[in-house]
A and B are shown apart, each in its own frame.
Chain A
Amino acid sequence: MSVPWLTLAVLLPGLAGVLLLRSSLAARARVVAVVVCSAVLFAAVAAARAQGTDPWLPLLAVDALSALLLPFVALLCAMLVLAAPRAWASPGALGRLLINESILMAAFAVSDLRWLGVLWIASYGPVVHALYTDDADRRVARVFLLYSGASSAAFTTGLLLMGPHPLADSASWSFFVWQDLAQPSVAGVALVLTAVLLRKASLPFHSWLPAVFDVRPTGPVLLLIAPMLGAYSLVRVALPMMRSVLGEHVFVLGPLSLLTAAYAAGLGLVQQDLRRLCAWLAVSQSALVLVGLECAQGDGLTGGVVVWLSAGLSLTGLGIAAWLIESRHGRLSLERHHGLYRRSPLLALVFLLCGLSLVGFPGMVGFVGGDLLLRAVLESFPLAGVLLFVTTAANGFSILRAFFRVFYGAPQAGGVVDLVPRERVALLVPLVLVLWQGLHPAPLVNAGAEAARVILLRTR
């Protein structure tokens, strides 16, 4: 890598975010943010193509896994900035979103795992800030602080227990050599696994996510869950050690995540609020990524990586659609039909397609990851694997139920309030990606397989 793409991708959004926080360019804030996000996306794609260590900041590096994730995170941020409702998108909010992007890009690009620990803690910052500064429910803020604090403490302690001397040079803490230099500590692995479960809202630490979704605008929360920093940290820190510490036949994450997926899918069936439904769908689908990551074979791992990207993208699309619906029509209960189809037909279509992709409908990218995952899971966890079928069936039903409740029913009075052009771009680009990758998934699956190969190579 001869051009410092990574430095650019990490520092540019942070600097722009700070500038936006301090500026009074209210009218131009979104334009600035969109330009910055586009530049970051370009830099992330360039860095992913080049791979290797950054020439300016050797702390930053890209391998096959982060080559997939960096453009993915940049795309999610660009979608959020472009689609965020006008009422929310103040210079301050956009500035914080860009700073959040900078933190996430750094977390996915940094090779020194001590920095990953720092960024793990920092990535909770924007949501904590939002919960304590806005007029949100203080109880939820305290619950989130409790879970995020526990997760941060567990992760950093586990990292320190497994790693070399805390003050050792950066090369010793690099994920490239982690499998050779780290200590196979049972306590360390257990703490990191706990931290990951806390962060990914897996059973029994799942309760914070629906609560936070309930009280905060969807956008910033999506950035906390859709990129799946928890899964990434698992791959970098715990997965290389897990088999040597737990043995070949002890599986913790897979069965627990399957249970989480089925439990969340079940609770999704009885939700009477669109936001909470999105939250349970997020818990359910993102748990599947962990199932794939713990599958013994490479196919399952590939499926896990593909589900990671497809679920993240679809979830963001669905979340943004829900956010836009709320911004136009207020908080929506699923207890009755709202009849918004006539008023927002395109929004309805986007909501349905993103939802179907999330639950793995054929012809969409979610189907590809789901198919690979299903096969691997049935081989690795034959009995618990049945839960995956329950999850698939229940989540599909929940999506259609939500679609019917929100868009169908006696039509609401009023004119058409459909997507404006910038929202169309924000939602149609990922939608086209979801459809295109669903019909022509070979490049994505090959990239996922390459990432899986790298993960397996680094497993002790």
Chain B
Amino acid sequence: MTLDLLASLLATSVVAAPLAAFAMLGLVRLFGRSTMERWSSRLVAAGFGLGVVGTVATALLLYVDGRDALVVHLGTWFSAGDYAFRVTLLLDRLSLPFMFLATVLCGTIAAFSARYLHREAGHRRFMTLLCLFGAGVLLVTSAGSFDVAYAGWELVGLTSALLVAFFHEREAPLVHGLWTFAVYRVCDVGLLLTAILIHSWAGTAEYGELLLGGAWPGGSTSLGATKATAVCLLLLFAAVGKSAQVPLSGWLPRAMEGPTPSSAIFYGALSVHLGAYVLLRAGPLLDQSPLASSLLVAVGLATALHATLVGRVQTDVKCALAYASMTQVAIIFVEIGLGFRFLALVHLMAHAALRTLQFLRAPSFLHEHHQLESAMGHHLARTGRHFERLLPERSQRWLYRLALERGYHDTLLEVWCVRPVLGVLRWLDRREHALVRWLGGRA
């Protein structure tokens, strides 16, 4: 067996393992059977465990062989005329670390949730969705083309919404799940349009053919500046939605309605970083477009300022962590916009790991905090109040109000976009009823 073939098999198994676990759990459910809680947890953990082994082995093989990247062609999914949807994976210095992170964290969450959600009514549903989510993240990260990345991107979006609404017997998770899905759905158009336009302009959506000249984080592209700018702006739009950046950041605190393990993996670690990941992948395109890079920096700075401000007034630990995540992701955006891609990758991985830990410990955090204060005999010193002290008192009050309302982002979106559009649509619907009544005459 050649090294290439072995590496290809290993890399494929990383994506295929969680998909296989999902298929097994899903089929059992589809045929009306029920799996034991213990077995479903073990199956999911095994799927991601296999993924960890596959990722490490692939990285080692590439290292031993002295190669920067491996392109795995899994074949053509479908083709018509000149167009072919080729399934290609790209394993390199960018994708392998993120795949390692994704498989380790998903496996950890599976193991954690086995106890955390023990005897919870939706335990198996959670495990099934975790597999699908993991497969989606791995597809996005190992994708060798924008086409494949889009498929994974959609899987992540759907599972996010379903897990936000995990506790579906209450009203609030359902409302917030739908809001999250709506933002995702709108922003996904950016990535879909990117894949189609790039295919049309360059004749391919594969990174290997599109982004030339050297291993990541280097490389260049043959696309002209105008086209590169258009593509980067679309990618930025997609990334802003997925990574909860200003002005579409309002869904992130709403998404905290889901169970803590899913909050950790989605909004602390993986999902929220996918926007940054795609931008890292499109680095050579960003190099061609100063406009898009500047906009990326501006969005990052605005979000960092917004999130750090709003995060200070949050009264529950998960929302505070969500805004802390948003701040760090925003800084990663700035780093990418400024061209510090390697730094951004290191930052991303470190942040994802730390934040997962914080989220998973969040339920016991308050308890431990009280224990610590009891042991010390006094309250712990408060930190994080330096920034606002520099401002005049009047501004402090104004900013406090602004922060309490989370920058009015969702309110403005609702008042300026959602309500007018729905108002017009409802008016049209009434006209439809009236037309039928008029055409039909008397009842």
Residues in A lying within 8 Å of B, measured CB to CB: 137-143, 146, 207-208, 210-211, 263, 266-267, 269-271, 297-299, 302-303, 337, 339, 341, 346, 349, 356, 361-363, 367-368, 371-372, 374-375, 378-379, 389, 392-394, 396-397, 400-401, 404, 407-411, 418-419, 424, 428, 431, 441-442, 445, 448-449, 452
Contact = CB atoms under 8 A, between A and B. Distances in A.
B435 A375 contact: no
Given A138-B440, A143-B439, 20 more contacts: A139-B437, A139-B439, A139-B442, A208-B436, A267-B425, A362-B155, A367-B151, A368-B78, A374-B192, A378-B197, A379-B200, A394-B185, A397-B182, A400-B158, A404-B165, A408-B168, A408-B169, A409-B174, A410-B169, A441-B77
Given A138-B443, A139-B443, A418 B32 contact: yes
A302 B81 contact: yes
Shortest 6 CB-CB contacts between residues of A and residues of B: A139-B440, A408-B168, A362-B151, A302-B80, A299-B81, A445-B78
Contacts of A363: 151, 155
A389 B168 contact: no
A419 B30 CA distance: 11
B181 A397 contact: yes
A357 B342 CA distance: 39
A393 B186 contact: yes
Contact of B185 (A140, A146, A397, A445): A397
Contact of A142 (B76, B79, B441): B441
Contacts of B199: 375
B32 A424 contact: yes
Contacts of A371: 85
B146 interface: no
Interface in B1-50: 29-32
A338 B407 CA distance: 34
B432 A210 contact: yes
B154 interface: yes
A244 B421 CA distance: 41
Nearest to B197: A378
Interface string B404-443: 0000000000000000011001101100100111011111
B9 to A, nearest CB: 19
A362 B155 CA distance: 7
Interface string B76-115: 1111111101000000000000000000000000000000
25 contacts: A137-B440, A137-B443, A139-B442, A139-B443, A143-B436, A207-B436, A267-B428, A270-B422, A299-B82, A299-B83, A349-B29, A368-B77, A371-B85, A378-B196, A389-B192, A392-B189, A392-B192, A396-B181, A397-B178, A400-B178, A404-B165, A411-B169, A431-B30, A441-B78, A442-B79
Contacts of B150: 362
Interface string B150-173: 111011001001000100110100
B278 to A, nearest CB: 16
Nearest to B152: A362
Which of A337, A371, A378 gathers most chain B CB within 10 Å?
A371
B432 A266 contact: no
B41 to A, nearest CB: 20
A363 B132 CA distance: 11
Contact of A270 (B82, B429, B443): B429
Contacts of B302: none
Contacts of A409: 168-169, 171, 174
| Interface secondary structure of B, over-half rule | helix
A124 B435 CA distance: 22
Nearest to B188: A393
B317 interface: no
B123 to A, nearest CB: 14
Nearest to A448: B80
Contacts of B250: none
Contacts of A397: 178, 181-182, 185
A434 B85 CA distance: 18
B177 interface: yes
Nearest to A139: B440
B193 interface: yes
Interface of B: 29-32, 76-83, 85, 150-152, 154-155, 158, 161, 165, 168-169, 171, 174, 177-178, 181-182, 185-186, 188-189, 192-193, 196-197, 199-200, 421-422, 425-426, 428-429, 432, 435-437, 439-443
The majority secondary structure among interface residues of chain A is: helix
A187 B77 CA distance: 43
Nearest to A210: B432
Most buried by B among A346, A375, A379, A424: A375
Contacts of B77: 368, 441-442
B158 A389 contact: no
Contacts of A411: 169
A411 B168 CA distance: 9
A389 B193 contact: yes
Contacts of B168: 339, 341, 404, 407-409
Nearest to A421: B32
Contact of A372 (B80, B178, B182, B193): B80
Contacts of B200: 375, 378-379
Contact of B439 (A146, A270, A367): A146
B425 A375 contact: no
B432 A207 contact: yes
Nearest to B157: A396
A379 B185 CA distance: 23
Given A143-B439, A339-B169, A361-B154, A269 B422 contact: yes
B169 A372 contact: no
Nearest to A350: B30
Contacts of B440: 137-143, 211
A140 B433 CA distance: 11
Nearest to B418: A269
Nearest to B425: A270
Contacts of B155: 362-363
A51 to B, nearest CB: 21
